[in-house]
A = this chain, B = another copy of it.
Amino acid sequence: MRMAVIGCGRIGRMHAANIRLHPETDLAMVFDEHAPSAEATAAENGCAIAASADDVFASPDIDAVLVASITATHADYIERAVAAGKPVLCEKPIDLDLDRVNSCAKRIAGSSVPVQIGFNRRFDPGHRAARDAVANGEIGMLHQVIITSRDPGMPPRSYYESAGGLLRDMTIHDFDLARFMLGDEPTEVMAVAGRLIDSALMDELDDHDTAMIILRTADGKQCHINNSRTSTYGYDQRVELLGSKGMVTSLNRKPHEARRYTGSAVEAATPYLDFFIERYEEAFMAEIGAFARAIRDGAPPEVGFEDGRRALVLAEAAYRSIAERRSVMVSEFD
Contact = CB atoms under 8 A, between A and B. Distances in A.
Given A266-B233, A266-B271, A270-B265, A226 B146 contact: yes
A17 to B, nearest CB: 10
Interface string A198-236: 000000000000111010100011101010101111101
Contacts of A258: 125-127, 129-130, 133, 248-251
Report how many copies the assembly holds: 4
Contacts of A222: 192, 194, 210-212, 226
Interface in A238-264: 242, 244-264
A11 interface: no
Given A220-B194, A270-B266, A250 B246 contact: no
Interface stretch (A66-74, A136-144, A289-297, A299-307): A136-144
Contact of A257 (B126, B212, B226, B263): B126
Contact of A252 (B133, B221, B257): B257
Nearest to A132: B258
Sort A-B residue pairs by CB-CB distance and give the 4 closest, nearest first: A126-B256, A233-B261, A268-B268, A246-B262
Interface of A: 21, 124-127, 129-130, 133, 138-139, 141, 143-144, 146, 148, 150, 188, 190, 192, 194-197, 210-212, 214, 216, 220-222, 224, 226, 228, 230-234, 236, 242, 244-272, 325-327
Given A233-B262, A265-B265, A266-B271, 11 more contacts: A126-B256, A133-B260, A190-B327, A194-B216, A194-B220, A246-B261, A248-B259, A249-B259, A263-B271, A266-B272, A267-B267
